[in-house]
Chains A and B, each alone.
Chain A
Amino acid sequence: MASKINLRSILRIEGATVFFALALLVVFSSIFAPSFLTTENLSNVLVQSVFVVILGIGITYVLISGGIDLSVGSVMGVAAAICVFCLNAGAPLPFALLAGLATGAAAGLFNAYFIVVLGFADFIATLGTLSLMRGVVELMTANSRLNSQDPGFMTLAAGSVGGAPLAVIIALIVALVAGVILARTTMGRAVYGVGLNPKSSFLAGVLVRRVRFSVFLVSGICAGLAGILLASRLSSVHPAMGTGYELTAIAAAALGGASLAGGRGSVLGTALGALFLAVLQNTLSLMSVNAFWFQIITGVIIVFAVLLDGGIRRFLNQRSMV
């Protein structure tokens, strides 16, 4: 068994590029930000990354299917608001959590209805939803602040199981389930076909409309969950909660190798991409770099990620042509 490990076969592995980038970054951070490698900080980074990981996973489904969902940041806010609202109205915790998730799902179905049934461009439909849902959050938080000190609710983000933060475990479970569904079930694989060529997938017997419906539903539920967790961490919902998260989530997915043209991407890649962004933000703050630099660097990284991905694909294809 002469198993020759070559660069190409490694690069072919999903998420390999972003993994190396992350590893490099961690090495860099450990050297230049000495407090980076403390248990407390690492656990902090992980918890900090959870929201974008979960959000990004939902977006990854949509991106692979060839769509885009700009509404996730606002949906986060609405789901969180509904959840806290139910808690404050005296509803039991499980009911409140379900209500929050259901809100996310409903928003996803709303998007899907406009896109799949009415035939809107995803960009426009989810842009409309972005505005609409943001408005709902603002309305809900206009006259009363939505705070919750419910101990059970706070546990979601603050609690831990056997030393591991509960939020991180939740994110891991979500990633595992979403990853296996995407890579190993017939439904998940159909998402790729739809993203690459919806017309031929349809004629080959793929239920394209159902797939497109599902990805927006998944994205909505993920956004709902991310919103609930964020609200638990902040123990409140403010009117702008979740604003801008859609861009970070898209950046994470792009870093992880998801193509905005559809057909490519993976849950693992996106999760690593989100982790990369969280580590970066953490390192910058540890090095007391002006927090505003994060935006600039994120922007540059997004472009760089796409370039690198393109370069690697060309590198891989070169070999396969000869």
Chain B
Amino acid sequence: MRTREVPTPSDTGFGATETFRRLIGRPGAGIFLFLVCFLPILSLFAPQMLQEGNLAGILNQMVFILIPTLGMTIVIISGGIDLSVGSVIGLSGGVAAFLLTVGVPMPVAILLAIISGAMIGAINGLVITRLKVPDFVATLAMMGVARGILYVWTNGIPFRDYMGDAYYIIGGLRMIVGKLTLPVFVALALLLILTFLLRRTHLGAHFRATGSNAEAAKLSGIRPDRIKMLAYIASGALAAVTGVMLAGRLTTVHPAMGSGYELETIAAAVMGGAALSGGRGSFWGALVGALTLTVIQNAINILNIESTWENVIIGSIILFAVLIDRAAMALSRGGSRRNASN
């Protein structure tokens, strides 16, 4: 690991610079600044970018990445990684669609779909904590298993004909307040609830302690295994919420639905400053990360760039985003004098 020594200007104490350093050192701050600068420049080329309708569109689209990213952030903070997110989105969407087609009342169908996601998360958690299989491997395996189940179950034929009026709203195909759709408010509610839970209960510290130093957490009387279970269950449930809504948005559940979401959510979480080594990350950062990804996708659409460029651009942005966050961290560290604890 390279430690870049930033020259330490005489300690300025608690001036404006120090406050700035604190702010820019927060996870995701670098990306946020990038986004703030990037949007106006983009809008020069595509004035419609900043129009109300488009901004609402960005929000409506963004929440589908944001919600699973919230779960991914919890998992990453507690020192894990969840590669099964995309498959859970597909499978839980399938569960909801199937139950609706066989006449199960919608609230029950949705609840069961979310429970199915939480259960997959619980299985991930059990395999990781009880069987001591590395997070990466366990969830990679679950990614294959859950996706495989969906394929075997549907025999490759998408679920259709489950859309009712209410489901159009749930899927965000109808606007409910202004140009905003229900998923936006679901995401907002989840963001607020989760932020509250992590900041005002012991959970936040316990997630971070587990990811930062599981041994220390254990000696403090925390059961890191339980915390990890909780993180994976949360991630599974949040992915399932996304799956239920995505089933509404797409109106059919193709067995490949949700593929690739694991990478997008990891990208969003990391762009938002979550450290894959655990212990660091925030929902605020997750929001910024998801927003950045969506704005880029949106810009590609608006600028009429061939959609084949999307992957190239997203890949470059992931690499670029990390560079920016790194630079921001270095800038903030410069002031707070890294201690030479080797």
- Which residues of chain A have a CB within 8 Å of any CB of chain B? 68, 114, 118-121, 123-125, 127-136, 138-139, 142, 247, 250-251, 254, 260-261, 290, 292-300, 302-303, 306-307, 310
Convert B317-342 into 0s and 1s, putting 1 for each residue whose CB lies closer than 8 angstroms to a CB of A: 01100110010000000000000000
- Whether A132 lies near B312 (C-beta < 8 A) is yes
Pairwise interchain contact A132-B148, C-beta atoms closer than 8 A = no
Pair A119/B2 contact, Cβ less than 8 Å: yes
**Are B311 and A138 in touch, CB under 8 angstroms?**
yes
Q: A238 CA to B312 CA in the complex, in Å?
A: 17
| Cβ–Cβ < 8 Å partners of B306 in chain A | 139, 142
Is residue B237 within 8 Å, beta carbon to beta carbon, of the partner chain?
no
Q: Which among A132, A250, A251, A260 has the highest number of chain B CB atoms within 10 Å?
A: A132
B141 x A300 contact (CB < 8 A): yes
A118 contacts which chain B residues (CB < 8 A)? 323
B266 touches A127 (CB 8 A): yes
Complex-state Cα separation, A219 to B322, whole angstroms: 23
Report the minimum CB–CB distance from A210 to chain B (whole Å): 15
Q: Point out the residues of chain A lying under 8 angstroms from B40, CB to CB.
A: none
> How far is it, in angstroms, between the C-alpha of A114 and the C-alpha of B319 when the chains are bound?
8
Give A67 Cβ to nearest chain B Cβ, in Å: 12
Closest Cβ of chain B to A81, distance in Å, is 13
A251 CA / B276 CA spacing, docked (Å): 21
Closest 8 CB pairs of A and B: A132-B315, A135-B311, A135-B312, A131-B315, A295-B148, A296-B148, A299-B144, A292-B151
Q: Is the CB of B1 within 8 A of A119?
A: yes
Query: Of all chain A residues, which has the CB nearest B275?
Result: A121
A132, B144: Cβ atoms under 8 Å? no
Q: Which residues of A contact B326 (CB under 8 A)?
A: 119
B132 within 8 A of A: yes
Secondary structure class of chain B's binding surface, majority of residues: helix
- Complex Cα distance A128/B155, Å? 32
Q: Is the CB of A260 within 8 A of B136?
A: yes
Chain B count of residues within 8 A CB distance of the other chain: 44
Residue among A135, A261, A296, A307 making CB contact with B152, cutoff 8 Å: A296
List the B side residues contacting A123 at CB < 8 Å. Answer: 81, 266, 276
Chain A's closest residue to B138 (CB) is A303
Query: Which of chain B's residues 131-172 have a Cβ closer than 8 Å to chain A?
Result: 131-134, 136-138, 140-145, 147-149, 151-152, 155-156
Distance in angstroms from A97 CB to nearest chain B CB is: 25
Query: Which residue in A114, A250, A261, A295 is a CB contact (below 8 Å) of B147?
Result: A295
Which residues of chain B are near A136, meaning CB under 8 Å? 312
User: A298, B309: Cβ atoms under 8 Å?
Assistant: no
Chain A residues, CB < 8 A from B216: none
Residues of A within 8 A of B132 (CB): 310
In the complex, which residues 58-98 of chain B have their Cβ closer than 8 Å to any Cβ of chain A?
81
Q: List 6 A-B contacts (CB under 8 A).
A: A119-B2, A123-B276, A130-B315, A296-B152, A302-B141, A307-B131
Q: Is B302 an interface residue (CB 8 A)?
A: no
A contact residues around B141 at 8 Å (CB): 298-300, 302-303
Bound-state Cα–Cα, A292 to B2, Å: 45
A236 to chain B, nearest CB (A): 18
Report B-chain residues with C-beta under 8 Å of the C-beta of A303.
127, 131, 133, 137-138, 141
Q: Is B308 an interface residue (CB 8 A)?
A: yes
* A124 and B276 form a contact (CB under 8 A): yes
B145 touches A299 (CB 8 A): yes
Residue B187 is within 8 A (CB to CB) of chain A in the complex: no
Q: How far is the CB of A107 from chain B (nearest CB, A)?
A: 12
- Within the complex, which residue of A114, A260, A295, A306 is in contact with B151, where a contact is CB–CB below 8 Å? A295
Give the residue among A129, A134, A251 with the most B Cβ atoms within 10 A: A134
Residue B188 interfacial (CB < 8 Å): no
